[in-house]
């Protein structure tokens, strides 16, 4: 088995280095420590990060907004909104996050491995073309999808967002195109207030935004069922060139901003089901890109389970997997509603 490719760089800790914030440098230090766990030693390989250029950032963001973020460079504190700040090195670090993801995609596309994880910050999926939001400066996963198209002429990219919060920025960027299939499972109503069932895209993009808004308290099985009964058939029908995962760890049961009950074992289930989807849909090409998660213990324990699954070190209960795949999707109100709404666009969802 090829080693899992990992973006890891100590410079990610420089963002908000001296500023008390939920999106703390401790988050990246914890996920980096996970990589030293004996269970995955020798099973992953590092990929060097680089800074994305302003021209690359402009594939998603407006030149005016890029300049606004660039003006924060060297300043002790710049505030974009109530939640989102920058410090002296934040512009550099945010560009490093994007460029690191680009290098990871290069390595996957060129066959060095089929799987990768980007241990990066700041997160990205709330960032819109012209503004920062929700701790996010540049939209890492949206830029990744654009990069695959610009660099490799990829025709179709699928983004699966497993962060607790809806990725309003990612949705907005691709809302009118069929070049990206965006699927998000998230607590609703919660920040930022978007992501209801009826938000399905417009024009050429109608049917290519799939939202699964969930009430609070959902656990391991519900999220695994969403992957198996929704992500899987949609991916087989869409046949993306690669799957990108906006990987938030705030579904964790004790997350400081969380409302869900997902355990580390649940993250293992989510990861293994996503890997199975990628194997069938796009020859296994999949990249996990770190988003939110504000419990250090949650990042450590859930991050380890995700990395173990990526590395082929699985401790999953096979009976639990069998229970999920043999269950009825219609017994889940959220899954049933998505099938009803999206069945208009996806024949594969009408047949379940």
Mean pLDDT on 69-76: 98
Tens of pLDDT, residue by residue over 216-227, are: 999 999 999 999
Could you tell me if 229 and 176 are in contact, meaning their C-beta atoms sit under 8 angstroms apart?
Answer: no
What's the CA gap between 70 and 95, in Å, rounded?
10
Three-class SS of residue 47? strand
* Active site amino acids: 126
Q: What is the pLDDT of residue 2?
A: 94
Angle at 109 between CA 59 and CA 128, to 5 degrees: 25
Q: What is the pLDDT of residue 284?
A: 98
Residues in the chain: 352
Three-class SS of residue 4? strand
Q: What is the pLDDT of residue 293?
A: 98
pLDDT band, very low/low/confident/very high, at 351 (cuts 50, 70, 90): confident
Topology of domain 4-325, CATH: 3.40.800
Could you tell me if 185 and 223 are in contact, meaning their C-beta atoms sit under 8 angstroms apart?
Answer: yes
Residues facing residue 78 across a β-bridge: 86
Distances in Å between the Cα of 21 and the Cα atoms of 84, 134, 166, 176 are 9, 12, 21, 34
Q: Put residue 142 in one of left, alpha, beta given phi > 0 → left and psi -120 to 50 → alpha.
A: alpha
Q: For residue 198, what are the contacts with CB-CB under 8 A and spacing of at least 6? A: 341
Q: Find the largest Cα–Cα distance for the chain.
A: 56
| Tokens coding 125 | 């999926």
pLDDT at 19 over 80: yes
What proportion of the chain, given as a percentage, has pLDDT over 70?
Answer: 100
Segments making up each domain of the chain, as ranges: 4-325
Tens of pLDDT, residue by residue over 306-341, are: 999 999 998 888 888 999 999 999 899 999 999 999
Tens of pLDDT, residue by residue over 107-140, are: 999 999 999 999 999 999 999 999 999 999 999 9
Could you tell me if 352 and 233 are in contact, meaning their C-beta atoms sit under 8 angstroms apart?
Answer: yes
pLDDT at 255 over 90: yes
CA atoms within 13 A on the CB side of 314: 16
Q: What is the pLDDT of residue 268?
A: 97
Tens of pLDDT, residue by residue over 270-279, are: 999 999 999 9
Q: Which position has the token pair 């999926």?
A: 125
What's the CA gap between 303 and 245, in Å, rounded?
14
Mean pLDDT on 82-99: 98
Average pLDDT, the chain: 97
pLDDT band, very low/low/confident/very high, at 48 (cuts 50, 70, 90): very high
Please provide residue 44's backbone torsions phi and psi, each rounded to the nearest 5 degrees.
-135, 160
Q: What is the pLDDT of residue 275?
A: 98
Angle at 211 between CA 210 and CA 212, to 5 degrees: 125
Q: What is the pLDDT of residue 10?
A: 97
Q: What is the pLDDT of residue 226?
A: 98
pTM recorded for the entire structure: 0.98
Nearest to 5 by CA among 143, 159, 109: 109
Please provide residue 175's backbone torsions phi and psi, each rounded to the nearest 5 degrees.
-65, -25
pLDDT at 352 over 90: no
Q: What is the pLDDT of residue 1?
A: 84
What's the CA gap between 144 and 350, in Å, rounded?
31
Q: What is the pLDDT of residue 316?
A: 86
């Amino acid at each position: 088995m090829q080693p899992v490719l990992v973006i890891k760089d100590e410079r990610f800790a420089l963002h908000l280095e001296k500023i008390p914030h939920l999106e703390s440098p401790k988050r990246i230090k914890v996920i980096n420590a996970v990589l030293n766990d004996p269970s995955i030693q020798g099973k992953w390989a590092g990929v060097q990060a680089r800074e994305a250029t302003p021209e690359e950032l402009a594939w998603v963001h407006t030149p005016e907004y890029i300049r606004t973020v660039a003006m924060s460079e060297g300043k002790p504190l710049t505030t974009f909104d109530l939640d989102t700040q920058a410090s002296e090195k934040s512009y550099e670090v945010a560009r490093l996050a994007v460029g690191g993801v680009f290098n990871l995609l290069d390595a996957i596309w060129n066959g060095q491995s089929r799987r990768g994880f980007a241990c990066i910050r700041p997160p990205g999926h709330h960032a819109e073309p012209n503004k920062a939001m929700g701790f996010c400066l540049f939209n890492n996963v949206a830029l990744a999808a654009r990069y695959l198209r610009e660099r490799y002429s990829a025709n179709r990219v699928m983004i699966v967002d497993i962060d607790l919060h809806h990725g309003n920025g990612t949705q907005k960027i691709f809302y009118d195109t069929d070049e990206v299939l965006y699927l998000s499972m998230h607590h609703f109503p919660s920040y930022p207030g978007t992501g209801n069932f009826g938000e399905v895209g417009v024009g050429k993009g109608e049917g290519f935004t799939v939202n699964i808004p969930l009430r609070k308290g959902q656990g391991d099985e519900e999220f695994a069922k969403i992957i198996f009964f929704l992500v899987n058939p949609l991916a087989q029908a869409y046949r993306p060139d690669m799957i990108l995962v906006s990987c938030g760890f705030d579904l964790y049961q004790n997350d400081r901003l969380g409302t869900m009950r997902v355990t580390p074992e649940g993250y293992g289930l989510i990861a293994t089901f996503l890997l199975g989807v990628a194997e069938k849909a796009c020859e296994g090409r999949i990249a996990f890109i770190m988003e939110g998660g504000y419990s250090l213990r949650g990042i450590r324990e859930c991050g380890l389970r995700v990395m173990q699954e990526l590395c082929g070190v699985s401790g999953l209960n096979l009976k639990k997997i069998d229970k999920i795949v043999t269950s009825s999707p219609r017994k889940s109100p959220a899954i049933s509603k998505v099938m009803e709404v999206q069945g208009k666009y996806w024949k594969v969802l009408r047949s379940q």
